Structure 1
Amino acid sequence: MKIYTLAGFLLIFILFLFCAKRRENTNYPNQNRIEEWGKIAPFFSPPEKFSNDYSDNRSPLLFYNGDSVGTVEDWQKRRKEILTRWNGMMGNWPEVLTEQTFEFLDTIHRDNFIQHRVKFYWTPDEKTEGYLLIPDKKGVSPAVMTLFYEPETAIGIGGKPYRDFAYQLAKRGFVTLSVGTTEATKQKNYSLFYPSIDSVAVQPLSMLAYAAANAWNALSKVKNVDSTRIGIVGHSFGGKWAMFSSCLYEKFACAVWSDPGIVFDESRPSVNYWEPWYLGYHPKPWRERGMITESNPANGLYPELVKMEYDLTDLHALMAPRPFLVSGGSEDPPERWRALNHSIDVNKLLGFDNRVGMTNRPLHGPTEESNEQIYQFFSYFLKLDL
């Protein structure tokens, strides 16, 4: 009888330890999530002076005929309307290349990750090279695509400080893919011109977004990558590229746009959507680079968009309910909350809070603090295992 009593006591004790362990394994990740959210929560509330203060831009919650969007079903129709209208104005994409995988060119080990130089089709008839960084750990991971003038800066090879997003994120446990427009940048054309630079069918900035969509499909097939958790980030030129990519291609789970100029603003030199490598394409010879003046006017689609009172708030709204963060500097100061409030309203209609965020710094260039905020955003919204 004593043996059975002892055995029963041991069984109960073992069950107690098992349950305690399960509670431990459950509580710590939840606690980590709470702590991670605490770090970034302030980014998702406009300053009081900009709360419920809207820009003069047309609300995305109005159909182009003036009808109001009042339900989730209405929003789905409105979302389709925005995509159809903007793609029609900028030029419809070729078919996205969904079946390709990366061609691996060479491999080295750096720090706590493996670096692969890879090649893939970013347009139907042109390949590009980039860098795929895979952390030294087992299992699948979230991934982040980084975009810039060339892919080396983001992996920490040359370039200005605090633009090494791919390198820093890989060290933190993310798979990263760094892509850039190396050859076009050398030629000071910067962008993608399809089918040729003499005659384009798609505005260059939209074509860059198409290239990112093709890159997403190749990245999603990497065995270490969770395809439901792929984000995107870029600074300045790369910020514009990341914004258009994430807005126009809904498979990106979340996005960070570092000081791209999130609305049209002809008073700011780096908001320059009017340049021919963005939305102002016209055949060469191109306008002189710089601000719009009477002697140096904008050409192509951009001035038509302004004349018809379109702005990028329509595109921001396409992100809903996917989260995005504006890492603002000189081109995106705190008053840009007036534009972002429109996207907050779209998310509220869909039943979501805390999907639209902004941080601010005084100058255009990223800083150690602004980058740490970016990494915290990705850790939370891509749910990096901590």
Structure 2
Amino acid sequence: MNLSFLNRTLPLAITLIVLPQAFAQDLETSNLAPADAPQSALWQKIQPNFSPPPQWAGKFGDYPSPLRFADGTQVKTPADWKRRRAEIASQWETLLGKWPPLITKPQVEILDTQRRDGLTQHRIRFAWTPDQHTTGYLLIPDGDHPRPAVLTVFYEPETAIGQGKPNRDFAIQLAKRGFVTLSIGTSEASATKTYSLYYPSIEDANVAPLSMLAYAAANAWYVLADRPEVDSNRIGIVGHSFGGKWAMFGSCLFDKFACAAWSDPGIVFDESRESVNYWEPWYLGYHPKPWRKRGLITDSNPARGLYPRLTAEGHDLHELHALMAPRPFLVSGGSEDPPKRWEPLNHSIEVNRVLGYQDRVGMTNRPDHSPNDESNETIYSFFEHVLKPTPN
């Protein structure tokens, strides 16, 4: 893993944290680049995005520090963080619901195969929950050596392979850059406007739907890791909007993703923004049907389910961001994630500082929600820099 911009190393023993089953237990840091590794041209290009602008440096907003234990004591050392991290993970698993067992030995059916753009595209089918299968696209560049991979997530899998709106074609663009990619999406749920995954049923879900999407992403990680063309230590995840929320929860709740890019999901709760809608039933506000009317929270249309409890107890998503440390992540911010989001991100920077790391948290900003050529180029450069092997 070419983490040459992470110019300090952390003993592996510190990062192997015993977590509840819903959270993977392996953080791969044994192959981090040494402190004297040369800076790549890619890193020089994206480096300005990995520190807050001066007006946001050192500002933490009203977000409680994840470096403070539930009993009020302060995290001061990596050993402290190991215990605090487990505490956060346990708290969130209790809130979100316990995952079913992961599907670690996937059975993958290849439905059809075609050649395109110097790569092989398989349409595949596999189980992503204990009782549901999904269809996605596996894109494999030519070559005979294991390579890095990226999972892409969205409303359906076709957009990411280039059959949808522009600048959301992450899977095909990354495959052209030498990554194995797997594109998945909630096609059937999107068609019925239920959008998410409900376990064990939509009538009586006992895991928050957004957490079940993260669970499905974890199972897709095993599909990629099982491929001979993939280096399982070098698998990332990316998504935009709905997919950005999915990618964020997937990477934060499942440690085997080596890195992540989240495109304008709304990285924290914000009840003034209709698209930062974690209160909806398909995210964190699940309740049995009939569902609340879609839209902003009002007195006549209140949030229900888990979401009001999360906000009443003072939780926010910066606590989950902290679970990424020391893995790097990039926020590709648009209208829902403006520069002010450096306030919650600064908390993750502080967690990495305790662990002895820097330059692990990045953000770009654009005025519009939709990705553009420039923002996507930073995403692709980020994955190339982080996941591709360092040249000899």
Quick check: TM above 0.5? yes
Contact 1:232 1:246 in 2 (8 A): yes
* 1:293-332 matched pairs, under 5 angstroms: 293-332=298-337
Pairwise CA distance, 1:31:
9.7
User: In terms of Rg, which structure is larger?
Assistant: 1
1:86 is matched with 92
Residue 51, structure 1, aligned to residue 57, structure 2: yes
* 1:31–1:308 CA distance, 2 compared to 1 (3 A): closer
Contact 1:112 1:135 in 2 (8 A): yes
Partners of 1:218 and 1:175 in 2: CA distance: 12
* 1:142-221 matched pairs, under 5 angstroms: 142-157=148-163, 159-221=164-226
SS at match of 1:286: coil
Partners of 2:118 and 2:87 in 1: CA distance: 45
Query: Which of 120, 123, 137 in structure 1 is aligned with 2:126?
Result: 120
Contact 1:40 1:373 in 2 (8 A): yes
Contact 2:107 2:127 in 1 (8 A): no
Contact 1:101 1:219 in 2 (8 A): no
Query: Which of 365, 377, 385 in structure 2 is aligned with 1:380?
Result: 385
Partners of 2:70 and 2:168 in 1: CA distance: 39
Partners of 1:64 and 1:325 in 2: CA distance: 28
Query: Which of 129, 140, 147 in structure 1 is aligned with 2:146?
Result: 140
* 1:349–1:357 CA distance, 2 compared to 1 (3 A): same
Residue 344, structure 1, aligned to residue 338, structure 2: no
Read off the aligned partner of 2:49 and give its amino acid letter: F
2:21 is matched with none
Read off the aligned partner of 1:88 and give its amino acid letter: T
Contact 2:147 2:388 in 1 (8 A): no
Residue 361, structure 1, aligned to residue 366, structure 2: yes
Partners of 2:38 and 2:79 in 1: CA distance: 36
Looking at both structures, which has the greater relative contact order when contacts are Cα pairs under 8 Å and sequence separation is at least 6?
2
Read off the aligned partner of 2:141 and give its amino acid letter: P
CA deviation profile, 1:190-248 (whole Å, cap 9, x unmatched): 00000000000100000000000011011101000000000000000000000000000
Contact 2:124 2:137 in 1 (8 A): yes
Identity of aligned residues (%): 65
More deviation in 95-104 or 62-71? 95-104
2:284 is matched with 279
* 1:231-246 matched pairs, under 5 angstroms: 231-246=236-251
CA deviation profile, 1:29-86 (whole Å, cap 9, x unmatched): x999521110110010100000001121110100111111111111111111111100
Read off the aligned partner of 1:226 and give its amino acid letter: D
Contact 1:101 1:120 in 2 (8 A): yes
Contact 1:192 1:205 in 2 (8 A): yes
Read off the aligned partner of 2:381 and give its amino acid letter: Q
SS at match of 2:40: helix
Read off the aligned partner of 1:340 and give its amino acid letter: L
1:247 is matched with 252
Read off the aligned partner of 1:248 and give its amino acid letter: L
Pairwise CA distance, 1:385:
6.8
Read off the aligned partner of 1:352 and give its amino acid letter: Y
Partners of 2:71 and 2:99 in 1: CA distance: 25
* 1:32–1:138 CA distance, 2 compared to 1 (3 A): farther
TM-score, length of structure 2 as denominator length: 0.89
Q: How many residues align?
A: 356
- Structure 1 unmatched runs, 5+: 1-29
Contact 2:280 2:294 in 1 (8 A): yes
Read off the aligned partner of 1:34 and give its amino acid letter: S
Read off the aligned partner of 1:130 and give its amino acid letter: G
Pairwise CA distance, 1:101:
3.9
SS at match of 1:371: helix
Partners of 1:130 and 1:116 in 2: CA distance: 8
* 1:32–1:118 CA distance, 2 compared to 1 (3 A): farther
TM-score, length of structure 1 as denominator length: 0.91
